[in-house]
Chains A and B, each alone.
Chain A
């Protein structure tokens, strides 16, 4: 079983990102579940969302405490919460940031990557200038980083689940996928 934890803020789309990923995995024939933990339901407040993917039916109905992968939609959350809590030794971290991974101040031996989802979201006019919706762009990056859910399945799910600007959201994901910095 692969367990992914998303850290975001209310309004950035972390919950929808987890759902798009789960749906993509299900459409590829796997089993998956995605569910949120809402703190206070307010724009800007920290949100955690979870996604599990497995060949077998998923029976666990509990939070993810030892994720294989962590996805951070807002770089500033690194200072607020310990996004690395419980991350497995061979896990990965993906952060929405214009900076290089080594400049994030994360102390871990795990593989860290960054993707500038904010710039992509702004270019595609997803959300507003002050609060861009970065979930689809970062999913494109995640598809590239982890390569266990094909980008095509993610794009299909984005087109199915994005409430508005379906094609722009899909393009944002594809750009993040193609602009990947090794």
Chain B
């Protein structure tokens, strides 16, 4: 497999090029812009057949993806931060209409104060919108997740939109070594798009997204929940199939040196990469530590997380987002997942890296030291200047 040097945004654009969605509707926003710029070039060069719409806002981008998807088109978009916030209303509509739209989110802090750098406040805020959420550690994973996203979204037992998240700047703008699949391998893996009751099928007219009275609304929400639960099996199966064509095997969580670890930290995204170095360094000094990367946040892999975190001396949960006045998103779910464990581990919340605050190896070592020394609080603000 040939290796290329490209950044996360370019890798997403490349995956789309190989998939060639029927419709891409988007509005540029840092740090996602390179995706739509690169894709616009593919369109201009005639390398894809996509109907490309440069919309006037993110609300419109998502609306167009919804309309296109309901009409029977495979649709994709990308956004970040305020752009995602501006789509809010339509996020729920895409999910409740069970439209398999795929969206890349280049994770960036929400305003204010305005900030262009990475944290997860944008997509974490959308965690209850009914979208599947997958997070990437590096450029390779962002590319791989992008391709798998279409298969997951379009599976007939799922039919939910998928958010493919990668860390703004840290991955979107980082040139790394990555190995793409061949075009025909991707095309075969993705297969043809199968529309359900497409609006453009005039011989069999259907309504999409009509008004829902109390008699039905609740059942539709229940249906979304069932689809999310089905997604777990589907994601695992798609990941296995993807491993066959790529040699890269992904799971809901990735455990690094956890087998005999007393202390485990769990994180999302690029930080999980740095964590592997931290664990190696500490292991060399004799510390019994491990790290877990959570790849799938919605649906949340409760069973896997609970099993891996049973009987540890300490568990640190790293959140790159806050829920003001309550537990940070990942911490809340990890604690909930492990509550019924027969040997419940002491669990600590670590907030870090907000608004792109860089988190180095030494910062992250402190998380393990705190737990070992018994100085970890229930909630800790890593590196905050007070």
Contacts and interface: CB of A to CB of B under 8 A. Distances in A.
Nearest to B359: A62
A26 B177 contact: yes
Nearest to A32: B177
Contacts of B241: none
Given A27-B5, A35-B174, A59 B277 contact: yes
Interface in B233-273: 270-271, 273
B276 A61 contact: no
Interface residues of B, number: 26
Given A22-B5, A26-B3, A26-B5, A61 B173 contact: no
Interface stretch (B74-82, B120-128, B164-172, B321-329): B164-172
A35 B170 contact: yes
A180 to B, nearest CB: 26
A36 B174 CA distance: 7
A150 B360 CA distance: 30
A3 B173 CA distance: 18
A148 interface: no
B175 interface: yes
A76 interface: no
A23 B138 contact: no
Interface in A21-68: 22-23, 26-27, 31-38, 41, 57-63, 65
- B171, B176, B271, B277: residue with the most chain A Cβ atoms closer than 10 Å: B176
Contacts, number: 66
A38 B116 contact: yes
Contact of B175 (A19, A38, A59, A63): A19
Contact of A60 (B171, B177, B361): B361
Contacts of B173: 35-36
Nearest to A1: B277
A63 to B, nearest CB: 5
Nearest to A61: B270
Contacts of B378: none
B358 interface: yes
Contacts of B169: 35-36, 38
- B7, B177, B358, B361: residue with the most chain A Cβ atoms closer than 10 Å: B177
Contacts of A35: 169-170, 173-175
Contacts of A57: 177
26 contacts: A19-B5, A22-B176, A23-B175, A26-B3, A32-B176, A33-B174, A33-B175, A33-B177, A35-B170, A35-B175, A59-B138, A59-B276, A59-B277, A60-B277, A60-B361, A61-B167, A61-B171, A61-B270, A61-B273, A62-B274, A62-B358, A62-B359, A62-B360, A62-B361, A63-B360, A65-B360
Interface of B: 3-5, 7, 116, 137-138, 167, 169-171, 173-177, 270-271, 273-274, 276-277, 358-361
